[in-house]
Amino acid sequence: MPLIDLHAHGKEKKKKTDPQVRIQDAKFPSPFEAGLVYSSPARGTWTIAHTSMLIPGSHQIFVCPSCCLRGVVLSAEEMGAMERFSMLEFTDDHILRGDLEDMIIEGVSEILGEMDALPTCVLLYTSCVQHFLNIDLHLVYRSLAEKFPEVDFIDCYMLPTMRQHFSPEKMQWRQLYRGIDASIPRNPRAVNLIGSYYEIDPESEIFDILRGAGMTVRQLPTIGTYEEYRRMGEAEANVYFNPIVSYAAEDLAKRLQMKPVYLPAVYETKALLDNEKRLAEAIGFTGPLPDRRALAAEAGQAFDAAARVLRDFDIAIDASAVTRPVSLAKRLFLHGFRVRILYADAFSPEEKEDFEYLRARVPEICILPMTDWRMRAAERRNPAGGRNVLAIGQKAAYFTGTKYFVNLVENGGLYGFRGMIRLAKQMTEGALHPKEVRELISEKALGCREQCERMRI
């Protein structure tokens, strides 16, 4: 019988349970295989229960088994929005009796009948089981519309089992704009900014163009009434910054003939200038575009100044903080930052050029997943070495165990050169002022509670 090299066997076992890969060896765009999913305690990203709250005057009803309801009801409670949330729990008996359609119609009718005043809009969430059973949802919505003609019912979906083929986030953003009024006459001087949890910074340079063109700008985080939400239907164009919102933009283009305008939230000067040209063309702005040379130089100087403060730090970036983490990593590398860690389950194909740039010049960058089951047992430390870490994003802060971080989710409304200037300032503050990470990242859906409070005013 051959001898077993226990030392070698131990190495093999460790290799199988360590998800870390160097960028020089990583497959693009998917460095990791899909499998069992782990959810870290970094909870600042928004879920579908939170995103629905962006529609003023809306009420959400989830029709799910108890195991699924547990998470969404806690989300509503934590954000202090239980008055805008209801649930219907179905059991095996409903399935065996085959009366899920009646159960939904009667349950929703009872919920609405007990309210002092009807909501203007109901977002009705059905779950995986109803779709596996192929129940007649057309009958459900037709019956509810007949019983409550003054309420807009929007079909929404809680379908995590479709994640590998169709992102729930994509479907969520599409459905959120299904209630806007298609009958409103078009206003060539109106535009929507869609697909952001946070207000796009009004100081961003794209607003220079929008204001110069005399545009009325609407976005979910700033509208205050359901009527204003419906008036988003008068826009000629929908501007979006995150590629997962493309499905919503394409749906609006198909249904309402609104022009989709994609302005990727990148960090490269030429790409940002190209975005401005694309926006100007889409809204019919014929005036001269602003000269951005001074502003671009100011953004570069802001990063240079931050790099001097952070000379003793490694930089970790996670894909829940910014939608283009590789673009940001490249920009920071060009300003002398020690970019050492990227947390992402996969990368957008749009990032391939920047990915290959970093692969050739910084081959030692560590890439780690955010949801791979192996991350549950990963040590909370800097996987790239022993230096201090500045984390950009909550998940990067949690996984590295650092107290130095930028509390940022989904770009946080930052965009363009002025967005980079603000980010550089946040990075500097993050390095100079350590934070109590556990307390900050335990807040679910960063900023959602404030959003709900604003709508009550």
Tokens representing 283 are 């809204």
98, pLDDT greater than 90: no
Rounded CA gap, 423 and 440, in Å? 18
| Contact in structure between 76 and 102 (CB atoms under 8 Å) | no
Which pLDDT value is given to residue 75?
A: 79
Amino acid at 205: E
Distance CA 177, CA 169 (A): 13
Asked if residues 126 and 85 have their Cβ atoms less than 8 Å apart, the reply is no
pLDDT tens-digit map of 358-367? 999 999 999 9
Please give the distance of CA 46 from its chain centroid, rounded to a whole number.
Answer: 7
Task: Give the model confidence (pLDDT) of 301-334 as tens digits.
Answer: 999 999 999 999 999 999 999 999 999 999 999 9
End-to-end Cα separation, the chain, in angstroms:
78
DSSP for 261-274? EE------HHHHHH
State pLDDT tens for residues 226-266.
999 999 999 999 999 999 999 999 999 999 999 999 999 99
Kindly tell me if the per-residue pLDDT of 189 is higher than 80: yes
pLDDT of residue 164: 57
* Domains of the chain from N-terminus onward: 48-176 (3.40.50.1980), 190-283 (3.40.50.1980), 300-441 (3.40.50)
Mean pLDDT value of segment 436-454: 87
Nearest to 322 by CA among 344, 352, 337: 344
**134-165 as b/e, with b when 16 or more CB fall inside 10 Å?**
ebebeebbebbeeebeebbbbebbbbeeeeee
The DSSP element (H or E) to which 340 belongs, if any, is strand 338-343
Q: Indicate if the pLDDT at residue 389 is higher than 70.
A: yes
Q: pTM higher than 0.85 for the full model?
A: yes
Quickly state the pLDDT bin for 456 (edges 50, 70, 90). low
Of 3-7, 27-31, 196-200, 390-394, the range with the lowest mean pLDDT is 3-7
For residue 404, list its beta bridge partners.
Answer: 390
Question: 10: which residues sit within 8 A by CB, 6+ positions away?
Answer: none
Strand partners, 194: 240
* Confidence (pLDDT) at 6: 40
DSSP code per residue over 69-136:
HHHHHHHHHHTT-GGGEEEEE--HHHHHHT-HHHHHHHHHHHHHHTSSS--SEEEEEEEHHHHHTT--
Which of 253, 408, 410 minimizes the C-alpha distance to 323?
A: 410
Q: Mean pLDDT score of the chain, rounded to an integer?
A: 91
| Residue 64 reports pLDDT greater than 90 | no
pLDDT in tens, 368-384: 999 999 999 888 888 87
Closest by Cα among 37, 7, 5, 43 to 19: 37
User: pLDDT at position 250, please?
Assistant: 97
pLDDT in tens, 256-269: 999 999 999 999 99
pLDDT for res 9 = 44
Short-list 124, 121, 116, CA closest to 56: 121
Other residues' Cβ atoms within 10 Å of the Cβ of residue 379: 9
The answer to whether the bond into 29 is cis (omega within 30° of 0) is yes
Collapsed DSSP state (helix, strand, coil) of residue 196: coil
What does the alpha-carbon distance between residue 340 and residue 166 come to, in Å, rounded to a whole number? 31
Phi/psi for 385 (5° steps) reads 155, -160
Around Cβ 260, how many Cβ atoms within 10 Å?
19
Across 95-118, average pLDDT: 93
Query: How far is the C-alpha of 115 from the C-alpha of 441, rounded, in Å?
Result: 35
pLDDT at residue number 49: 87
Which candidate, 224, 197, 427, 190, places its Cα nearest to that of 329?
A: 427
What residues pair up with 341 in beta bridges, in sequence order?
A: 316, 366
**Residue 173 bridge partners (DSSP):** none
Tokens of 58: 């809306």
Task: Output the pLDDT for position 372.
Answer: 94
What six digits make up the tokens of 113?
């009948």
How far is it, in rounded angstroms, from Cα 107 to Cα 114?
11
